Amino acid sequence: MDKNNSSNNDRADSKHESTVLTVRIKKNLDEVLNTIAENRHLTKAAVIREYLEKSEFFLMDHNSIKSLNQNELILLKRRFFNKIISELDEKRQIELATELARFINDLARLKGKMNDIPYKLDLCEEYGLFPKFLDEEGFILINKKFGPKRFVEAFMWILITMGDKGDYDREFTTEEIEDSKKVAERYMETIQPVRRDETHYAFEFARLKNESKG
């Protein structure tokens, strides 16, 4: 497999050194790779490279997929994951979102990139949470398919602030925001939700200055 292949679909990043890797694989796996390449309109070398590059984010055990800090992972349909989260009460959503964001932060810490927000967004994309997407004004746009609003807010709060400003306030539930003017004012001052489009969440605290679309 030659990473110096010059075809458009098979071009390696010129900023990185490349090397040649030769491996022997079973015939049925070769056929699978050919099918994937054909379906995606890529060269087989490009498909193989994509799989290998996933090793930057995942560890393959003989019977499981693991994160870089050895946590065992499970694959879920996005709709199924969203349904599970949505059926929980909002305080529990906040707790789980906080745990999930800390997991992503821990992975970034392993690479010495705890403060590197774009890298952490790459992790979110690689782990199937939501696509990395920044608009022209630096707002991080989070696809609403990721989860309900409080879950997304709590996740992003920990991901961006890393807990330096405290945990996401457990009082910021829909019921308490609607019932208490003081809670509503504190919520708006802290989270500052911003409407960018119909299909994404965005928040003032999750805005990267001088960043363009990622």
Q: Hey, which residues does 73 pair with through a beta bridge?
A: 65
pLDDT at site 166: 92
Residue 62, in any domain of the structure: no
Q: How many residues does the chain have?
A: 214
Q: Let me know if residue 70 belongs to a domain.
A: no
* 72 within domain boundaries: no
Q: Is residue 128 part of a domain?
A: yes
Confidence of residue 11 (pLDDT cuts 50, 70, 90): very low
Q: Does 87 share its domain with 176? A: yes
- Residues 132-162 have pLDDT tens digits of 999 999 999 999 999 999 999 999 999 999 9
Q: Which domain holds residue 50?
A: 8-56
Instruction: State whether 52 and 89 are in the same domain.
Output: no
Spatial CB neighbours of 127, under 8 Å, sequence gap ≥ 6:
57, 67, 73, 104
Same domain, 133 and 35: no
Asked if residue 25 and residue 88 are part of one domain, the reply reads: no
CA distance 184 to 189: 9
Closest-CA residue to 212 (of 150, 136, 143)? 136
Tell me the average pLDDT of the chain: 89
Q: Tell whether 68 is covered by a domain.
A: no
> What CA–CA distance (Å, rounded) separates 201 from 110?
28
Same domain, yes or no, for 111 and 52? Answer: no
Please count the structural domains in the chain: 2
Instruction: Indicate the SS3 state at residue 58.
Output: strand
Q: How confident is the model at residue 209 (pLDDT cuts 50, 70, 90)?
A: confident
Percent of the chain with pLDDT over 90: 73
Model's pTM, two decimal places?
Answer: 0.84
User: Do 28 and 108 belong to one domain?
Assistant: no
Query: Looking at the structure, do residues 83 and 127 belong to the same domain, yes or no?
Result: yes
Q: Examine the domain organization and report whether 52 and 83 are in the same domain.
A: no
Question: Is 83 in the same domain as 137?
Answer: yes
In a domain, 91, yes or no: yes
Q: What is the pLDDT of residues 55-78, one digit of tens each?
A: 889 888 878 899 988 889 888 899
Sign, Cα dihedral of 153, 158, 164, 168: positive
The answer to whether residues 100 and 200 belong to one domain is yes
On whether both 91 and 142 belong to a single domain, the answer is yes
Q: Do 5 and 45 form a contact (C-beta atoms < 8 A)? A: yes
- The answer to whether position 175 is within a domain reads yes
Q: Residue 64: inside a domain, yes or no?
A: no
**Co-location of 51 and 90 in the same domain:** no
Q: 213 pLDDT band (50/70/90 cuts)? A: very low
